[in-house]
A and B are shown apart, each in its own frame.
Chain A
């Protein structure tokens, strides 16, 4: 069993196989050795988000290990499983926090899942809708915007 602490000092005890899904924690454990009583501090992740991450890791603890290199993965993994969709059904703030945490903890699958979820939010939206969804400020002049649209028209054939 492994102990980890969040930034707001919440402590979690999890099985080693679940902890090892995070490459960061896995490496730390290897470096530190078998000193069980010392909890691993994760100052960049809050308690609530860490809870979610652990939930994800527990859900996927029995998954077959992914190939170490992207090149050798035969299938395209663009579809999101139903259970993952439900898991990611959170508000935007939490969603981005999970992505940040996955990046920090080096959990590729969770990071990809988060990115795919956001990508689904972008899909099919118009420019204004995208900006509204993410509160992005438009820093183009109308002429520039028109030019960029023209530049990228070719992709409709693809």
Chain B
């Protein structure tokens, strides 16, 4: 029990640290993060502990729901409470600063489709995806009588099911009822994630200007790709931006071209409140050291400069002259995806150098987001 207490303490410290960080009290945040990692020194990745914890709790809740198969209303209510509590926990660990209106208490309803709700609850987590039910007679490896389809490996069969659903979604009940293997496939998060990806690329929702999902919405859907697929929200105009002490900014957009990403960023900056909120976020801490004060000034300058600076392409990277002397701002995409057009900005991965505080990971919102790291580079003249 002593070990569990320690973990609890570490988790609460970590959460406090996240809150501090969000309020701009970076010194406090750092101290608390350090404390948290020192307590659980055998498990340095406290992020993982938290994630596993929420995962475990989620499964427990699902289990309870399945055990008590009551009428529709009760199932809906249980789903509602389960999801919003998950959302809260993860938002604290999220560490992302968001703008726009975030409706804190929007329940995750599916327009009265409680059966769909129920199914969303049944979806298997990602790790289950590759675990084919071994008792399934159809399972290609088990098939005693070789029929043509049993020669196909599991991943191809999964692909077939996906394509069938793309072609005719209403064939879902038929596909699921065919056999246990097919049914298993329709319950995986991976299937619905694939369908979402197909939907958003097919309908050209990518590359529209200024499209962002606010953090809570993204968080909500990250829990369930099925729900996202059903609701298919139109991305809204809220921002998704992350600040660092050294004045860099991390921007998430759907654009894959740097010039478009710039437009998105300008779109955010044009909304008066946002710049103000950012300044506030940066300026909460009093008694800054010289270095910190300089970094803060650089960040604020960047925010304003980004609106008015002129950008040019230099060595495969977009560079902007800012109004602050000797400071150039570079916009580089940070997704691991290869650039379509090599002449566009350089791709680089976010690593520990770019992230100031431990436990910060890029959002896993991979279907409609590209990361852009906006970093200050100081040229000596």
**How far is B197's CA from A69's CA once the two chains are assembled, in angstroms?**
12
Min CB distance, B193 to chain A, in Å?
A: 12
Task: Give Cα A136–Cα B164 distance, bound, in whole angstroms.
Answer: 16
Give the interface SS of chain B, mostly helix, strand, loop or mixed.
helix
Q: Are A152 and B176 in contact, with the CB atoms below 8 A?
A: yes
Of B113, B118, B137, B179, most A-chain CB atoms within 10 Å: B179
Chain A: CB-nearest residue to B146: A135
Cβ–Cβ contact A135 & B147, under 8 A: yes
Residues A158 and B230 in contact in the complex (CB < 8 Å), given A99-B156, A152-B173: yes
A127 to B34, CA, bound (A): 57
A92 to B148: give the CA distance in the assembly, Å: 7
Q: Tell me the complex Cα distance, A78–B203, Å.
A: 12
A120→B167 contact, CB < 8 A: yes
Q: How many A-B residue pairs have CB under 8 A?
A: 153
Whether, in the assembled complex, B236 has its beta carbon less than 8 Å from a beta carbon of chain A, the answer is no
| A contact residues, total (Cβ < 8 Å) | 53
**Contacting residues of chain B (123-176) with chain A, CB-CB under 8 angstroms:** 135-138, 145, 147-149, 151-153, 156, 159-160, 162-164, 166-176
Q: Which of B137, B138, B175, B183 is A122 in contact with, Cβ under 8 Å? A: B175
> Complex: how many Å from CA A55 to CA B248?
53
In this complex, the interface size class of chain B, counting residues with CB under 8 Å from chain A, is 35 or more
Given contacts A76-B203, A111-B159, A122-B164, are A136 and B148 in contact (CB under 8 A)? no
Q: Does B202 contact A (CB under 8 A)?
A: yes
Assess the B201–A71 pair: CB atoms within 8 A.
yes
Q: Do A153 and B204 touch across chains, with their CB atoms under 8 A apart?
A: no
A140 CA / B116 CA spacing, docked (Å): 22
Interface of chain B residues 189 through 229 with chain A (CB within 8 A) = 197-198, 201-204, 206-207
Whether B340 lies near A122 (C-beta < 8 A) is no
Complex contact A70–B145 (CB within 8 A) = no
User: Is A38 in the interface zone, CB < 8 Å from B?
Assistant: no
Q: Which residues of A contact B147 (CB under 8 A)?
A: 134-136
A76 contact set on B, CB distance < 8 A? 198, 201-203
B337 within 8 A of A: yes
Given contacts A68-B338, A134-B149, contact A123 B164 (CB under 8 A): yes
A125 at the interface (CB under 8 A from B): yes
> Is A154 in contact with B149, judged by CB distance below 8 angstroms?
no
Binds B, one of A10-18, A24-32, A81-89, A142-150: A142-150
Chain A residue at smallest Cβ distance from B366: A71
The answer on a CB contact under 8 Å between A155 and B169 is yes
Chain A proximity mask over B104-117: 1 for CB below 8 Å, otherwise 0 = 00000000010110
Within 8 A of B (CB), among A60-106: 67-76, 78, 92-93, 95-97, 99-100, 103
Is the CB of A1 closer than 8 A to any CB of chain B? no
Question: What are 21 A-B contacts with C-beta separation under 8 Å?
Answer: A78-B166, A93-B148, A95-B148, A96-B149, A97-B151, A100-B156, A116-B167, A118-B163, A123-B164, A124-B171, A130-B178, A137-B138, A139-B135, A139-B136, A139-B180, A148-B176, A149-B177, A151-B119, A152-B186, A154-B116, A158-B230
A: residues with CB less than 8 A from B are 67-76, 78, 92-93, 95-97, 99-100, 103, 111-112, 115-116, 118-120, 122-127, 130-131, 134-140, 145, 148-158
Q: A72-B340, A123-B171, A139-B138 are in contact. List 6 more A-B contacts (CB 8 A).
A: A69-B337, A78-B166, A99-B156, A118-B164, A123-B168, A130-B174
